[in-house]
Amino acid sequence: MKKALKISGISLLIILALLIATPFAFKSQIKDMVKRSINENLNAQVEFSDVSLSFIKSFPKAHVSVSDLVITNLEPFKGQTFVTSKNIALTMSIMELFKTSGEDPIVVKSIAVDEILLTLKTDKFGNANYDIAKSTEDAPTETETESGSFSFDIENYSINNSALAYIDDVSKMTVYISELNHQGKGIFSAESLELDTKSEANISFIMDSSNYLSNNPIKLDAIIGLDLANSKYTFKENKGLINKLPLEFQGYVQLLENGQEIDVTFENPETSFKNFLALIPEEFSKDIEGVETTGDFKVKGMIKGISSEETIPNLDISIISNNASFKYPDLPKRVENIVINTSIKNTTGNIDDTYVDIKALNFKIDEDVFKSSISLKNITQNMLVNASIDGVLNLANITKVYPVELESTLTGILKGSINTVFDMKAIETNAYERIKNNGSVSISDFVFSSEDMTSPIHISDANMTFNPEVISLNSFKARTGNSDLNATGTIKNLLGFLLSDNTLQGYFDLNSTFFKIDDFVSEEGTGTATETITSESNDTTQDTESLKIPSFLDCTINANAKTVVYDNLNLKDVKGTLIIKDQRAILKEITSSIFDGTLAVSGDVSTKNETPTFNVNLGIDGFDISKSFKDLELLRNLAPIAQLLQGELNSNLSLTGNLDNELLPDLNSLSGGALAELLATKINTDQGELFNKLEGSLGFIDFDKLNLKDLKTNLEFANGEVSVKPFQVNYEDITIDVSGSHGFDTNLKYNAIFNVPAKYLGSDVNQLIGKIDTKEAKNISIPVTADIEGTYTKPLVKTDLKSGVKNLTNQLIEIEKQKLLNTGKSKVTDLISGVIGGNKTKTDSIKKEQNNSVKDVLGGIIGGEKDQTDSAEKTDAKKEAVKNVLGGLLSKKKKTTK
């Protein structure tokens, strides 16, 4: 007995070892067979990480799995992924692995696919990415086929945690199926069999940009009869769920050479109105188990006919509900008198003849009755629309009857009576003669708030009249924050904007008594305009997307506002025109009163490119300088010193540059020019460190008396630097020539040349001038240069005043010397003339006087007063001068004697 057990145990161990070890011997063979099978049948690039074989997982059957399968399309979808799968497992008899003849393919009994993602595409030319099977001409012949091919005789299959996408560019249809789990059982080897299936998934369906299903859960338990000989599939016992709406269906689908023959009918077995709520995705309808409902809801349909490239089956689908109601247990109000009468039909098999007719979609909340109807024809081509709306809706009741989560609370009464008839091509091409609109819509006491708005907007009254070509905005009165709006105008192509990609066109007259910009801008992350335009604009953040002018707007606004508040600026009597088009805002003849003067603005702002830009012209007339330079940051950056001035400013500025993410100027990108004129201007010298420095270096000037009247200067700016063209100002009889530049970072680099008369340069200089009683001496002046650097708050001033005074002193001494020399010569000549004339009395008198004069001249040259001393060099020079004078005189005397 022990021996038998021992033999049995050893045998089991050997068998187990063989079961574990043998797959390694077949692994290479199986891998080659998989590759050959794929290459023989598919026109695609196929990759997988591994193929494994096990005799244990599905014992007594063999288990073959393919890991990380990826199938990539060739042209015309080259490089696009068709299929990915984490794992595909096949089971088969172990004996199938020992088949070596090409006439005996390996028979697969079951397939399990895990996490497969299948993408089916049809491009606009009709090419399908799933058409990758090789044609019979390309397929290998029996003699060419090597051993190891697969044949399928499936008994069961499963698809687990997978997804499918179907995208058809021809029909503009998209289907997404996610979280797909499907399994089926049957004997596929029989010509006729029943396939027992269970399926569940989430489905989304989009047709021509309209979302009909959005991640709706579906379930289907179905027994399908398969007549493989006739390619006919019959639905026998079937029950499905769309959301929580139950549907039963029966009929068949049979494959034909030119398409499929379909004969299917379906209906919901229950008639409660709760079934209608079940159609709405649960994320919107919430839990409907406790909802009270009355009335019925019936869905019934028939699909019958041939589906081919030329035809579709006939359709007859109806959705009907009469006198229904519902109330959510946690909400205060009920929706009553609900009537739904909808049909979808096609009686010809021509897809263009399909139409949807919603004869009624009515309801009542409290005493407010809302009625609507719409018909849609020629759906796949140029769709024809005929719609009517008539009723009253209290917007505040929406959240009181239905568990919808709105970002903000709605209030207001909406009244409307509208009928519109149009075709879609008329909307797209603005063929207004084919658009028939009539009726009116009004809204009152409408309040809307949002996180993107600083304050709620309250529309007290708005009324629109619908006409074929335009919609007239008869009135629009609203408030938000401290701002009020009153507008009238016209709107063109509203339906084109709502139903297609057309722009929204309009022409409006806008009036306001008080308009505050901050009431229309979100406070989050914006800061004030002043803060941003100074330092922050130099370090603009690129992480956030720039604000954009909407591309769908094409409108003209004529504005008239008594007061407009922008940051700390108060603009009065603002008038002008704003044109918005192609992501560009054009400012046309904008005028306003500000800083005791007027401002005119023209130009444009564009956000079409990645970096927004602006190009504007500013006309300034009569600005109070101290007020404007205190409150307007741009002016302070252009001329920081001007904020110390008192008076009026006239200027024309041309500005071009980039805008930051808040649509405020990036100063580093600013370029342009300005012509400025100062009128009746004085200086507040006690408020500026720059003037303190200048007065310290140039004590002869009182800047309070500086004459800046009618001063004109030109500015140019680019790359964050302002260049000031040379200009001249006057201080009494001193002219000052100024030029230079400064940066928006307040660095200074200026040069001022003071043309200073000698009389301002101290007592020493004035004493010299007093001794020289000549016009030349009195009119003499010197240039004094002041170099101004550093920053506006910490200026550095350097002058050449000392060297200028020294040069002037030398100049005056030279003039004095020439004067004395000329005077000495004249008096000696008079003395000699008197002697030669022979009048002794007169000669003696003249001689005495001239002797005294010569003495004075010599004293002036040699030294004059005893306590006055000259340097040896000057004394020698003067002696030499006297010698020359006397020598000249003696020479003349000798000639006279002779």
Look at residue 316 in the predicted model and tell me its pLDDT. 95
Q: Please determine, for residue 464, whether its predicted confidence score (pLDDT) is greater than 80.
A: yes
CA angle 482, 487, 492 (to 5 degrees): 135
> Worst-scoring range by mean pLDDT, 85-89, 392-396, 498-502, 749-753?
498-502
Q: Place 689 in a pLDDT band, splitting at 50, 70 and 90.
A: confident
Q: Please determine, for residue 745, whether its predicted confidence score (pLDDT) is greater than 80.
A: no
pLDDT in tens, 829-848: 555 555 444 445 544 554 45
> Worst-scoring range by mean pLDDT, 53-67, 173-187, 501-515?
53-67
Look at residue 849 in the predicted model and tell me its pLDDT. 46
Question: What single-letter DSSP state applies at residue 135?
Answer: P
Closest by Cα among 147, 11, 23, 16 to 94: 23
Closest by Cα among 639, 617, 785, 798 to 721: 639
pLDDT in tens, 134-147: 665 554 444 444 43
| List of residues 6+ apart from 370 with CB closer than 8 A | 362, 363, 364, 389, 390, 391, 392, 393
Q: How much is the average pLDDT of 437-466?
A: 84
| List of residues 6+ apart from 521 with CB closer than 8 A | 454
- Residues in the chain, overall count: 898
d(CA 29, CA 62): 14
Structure tokens at 239: 């029950």
* Residues 895 and 888: beta-carbon distance below 8 Å: no
d(CA 479, CA 738): 52
Look at residue 262 in the predicted model and tell me its pLDDT. 92
Closest by Cα among 799, 797, 795, 764 to 784: 799
* Whole-Å CA distances, 288 to 285, 320, 416, 791: 7, 20, 31, 72
Look at residue 365 in the predicted model and tell me its pLDDT. 93
Structure tokens at 770: 């007093």
Strand 553-566 relative to strand 515-516: parallel, antiparallel, unpaired? parallel
Q: What is the pTM of this model?
A: 0.59
Q: Please determine, for residue 95, whether its predicted confidence score (pLDDT) is greater than 80.
A: no
Q: Please determine, for residue 121, whether its predicted confidence score (pLDDT) is greater than 60.
A: yes
Tell me whether residue 624 is exposed, middle or buried, using C-beta atoms within 10 angstroms of its C-beta: 0 to 12, 13 to 18, 19 or more: middle
Structure tokens at 693: 């420095």
d(CA 692, CA 502): 64
Q: Place 827 in a pLDDT band, splitting at 50, 70 and 90.
A: low
| Radius of gyration for the alpha carbons in the chain, expressed in angstroms and rounded | 50
The larger pLDDT score, comparing residue 204 to residue 866, is at: 204
Look at residue 375 in the predicted model and tell me its pLDDT. 94
Beta bridge partners of 326: 293, 335
Q: Please determine, for residue 854, whether its predicted confidence score (pLDDT) is greater than 50.
A: no
Name the E strands within 12-49: 45-47
Tell me whether residue 306 is exposed, middle or buried, using C-beta atoms within 10 angstroms of its C-beta: 0 to 12, 13 to 18, 19 or more: middle
Q: Place 388 in a pLDDT band, splitting at 50, 70 and 90.
A: very high
pLDDT in tens, 802-816: 777 777 777 767 776
Q: Dihedrals φ, ψ of 308, to 5°?
A: -145, -170
Identify the helix (H) or strand (E) that includes residue 481.
Answer: none
In this structure, how many other beta carbons lie within 10 angstroms of the beta carbon of residue 310?
11
> Worst-scoring range by mean pLDDT, 84-93, 669-678, 690-699?
690-699
* Helical spans, DSSP H, in 409-475: 424-429
| List of residues 6+ apart from 688 with CB closer than 8 A | 641, 644
d(CA 235, CA 251): 6
The larger pLDDT score, comparing residue 666 to residue 118, is at: 118
Q: Please determine, for residue 708, whether its predicted confidence score (pLDDT) is greater than 80.
A: no
Reduced to 3 states (helix: H, G, I; strand: E, B; else coil), residue 463 is: strand
pLDDT averaged over every residue in the chain: 76
Burial string for 725-742 (b: 16+ CB within 10 Å, else e) reads eeeebebeebebebebbb
Q: Place 796 in a pLDDT band, splitting at 50, 70 and 90.
A: confident
The larger pLDDT score, comparing residue 301 to residue 721, is at: 301
Look at residue 361 in the predicted model and tell me its pLDDT. 94
> Worst-scoring range by mean pLDDT, 352-366, 579-593, 625-639?
625-639
* Residues 610 and 651: beta-carbon distance below 8 Å: no
The larger pLDDT score, comparing residue 332 to residue 49, is at: 332
The larger pLDDT score, comparing residue 105 to residue 736, is at: 736
Q: How much is the average pLDDT of 179-203?
A: 82
CA angle 744, 745, 748 (to 5 degrees): 85
Look at residue 131 in the predicted model and tell me its pLDDT. 78
CA angle 231, 235, 239 (to 5 degrees): 150
Reduced to 3 states (helix: H, G, I; strand: E, B; else coil), residue 190 is: coil
Q: Dihedrals φ, ψ of 882, to 5°?
A: -65, -45
CA angle 129, 133, 138 (to 5 degrees): 130
Residue that is written with structure tokens 């003039």 in the block: 815
Q: Place 191 in a pLDDT band, splitting at 50, 70 and 90.
A: low
pLDDT in tens, 123-132: 888 788 877 7
Look at residue 33 in the predicted model and tell me its pLDDT. 64
Q: Please determine, for residue 511, whether its predicted confidence score (pLDDT) is greater than 90.
A: yes
Look at residue 444 in the predicted model and tell me its pLDDT. 92
Q: Please determine, for residue 795, whether its predicted confidence score (pLDDT) is greater than 80.
A: yes
Q: How much is the average pLDDT of 733-742?
A: 86
The larger pLDDT score, comparing residue 5 to residue 453, is at: 453
* Residues 852 and 823: beta-carbon distance below 8 Å: no
Q: How much is the average pLDDT of 345-373?
A: 92
pLDDT in tens, 14-25: 444 444 444 544
- Long-range contacts made by residues 832-839, C-beta under 8 angstroms, separation at least 24? 832/889, 832/892, 832/893, 832/896, 836/896
The larger pLDDT score, comparing residue 494 to residue 587, is at: 587
Tell me whether residue 324 is exposed, middle or buried, using C-beta atoms within 10 angstroms of its C-beta: 0 to 12, 13 to 18, 19 or more: buried
pLDDT in tens, 534-571: 333 344 444 455 567 778 788 899 999 999 887 677 88
Q: Please determine, for residue 533, whether its predicted confidence score (pLDDT) is greater than 80.
A: no
* Residues 178 and 163: beta-carbon distance below 8 Å: yes
d(CA 572, CA 154): 85
The larger pLDDT score, comparing residue 801 to residue 565, is at: 565
Look at residue 302 in the predicted model and tell me its pLDDT. 94
d(CA 653, CA 614): 13
- HEC readout, 380-392: CCCCEEEEEEEEE
Domain boundaries, the chain: 26-411, 800-897
Closest by Cα among 264, 271, 205, 217 to 238: 264
Helices (H) and strands (E) in the chain — how many of each?
15, 39
Look at residue 448 in the predicted model and tell me its pLDDT. 77
The larger pLDDT score, comparing residue 863 to residue 819, is at: 819
Structure tokens at 466: 């619908």
Q: How much is the average pLDDT of 623-637?
A: 77
Highest mean pLDDT, choosing among 482-486, 548-552, 826-830: 482-486
d(CA 84, CA 165): 12
Q: Place 392 in a pLDDT band, splitting at 50, 70 and 90.
A: very high
Beta bridge partners of 780: none
The larger pLDDT score, comparing residue 535 to residue 512, is at: 512
The larger pLDDT score, comparing residue 264 to residue 194, is at: 264
Q: Please determine, for residue 2, whether its predicted confidence score (pLDDT) is greater than 80.
A: no
Look at residue 432 in the predicted model and tell me its pLDDT. 76
Q: Place 577 in a pLDDT band, splitting at 50, 70 and 90.
A: very high
Q: Please determine, for residue 171, whether its predicted confidence score (pLDDT) is greater than 80.
A: no
Q: Please determine, for residue 92, whether its predicted confidence score (pLDDT) is greater than 70.
A: yes
pLDDT in tens, 229-273: 888 889 887 888 877 788 888 899 998 888 889 999 999 887 888
Look at residue 326 in the predicted model and tell me its pLDDT. 93
Look at residue 425 in the predicted model and tell me its pLDDT. 85
Closest by Cα among 453, 438, 445 to 388: 438
Highest mean pLDDT, choosing among 205-219, 432-446, 616-630: 432-446
For a pLDDT cut of 70, what percent of the chain falls above it?
Answer: 73
Start-to-end CA distance of the chain, whole Å, equals 182
**The amino acid at 256:** L
Q: Place 301 in a pLDDT band, splitting at 50, 70 and 90.
A: very high
* Residues 199 and 159: beta-carbon distance below 8 Å: no
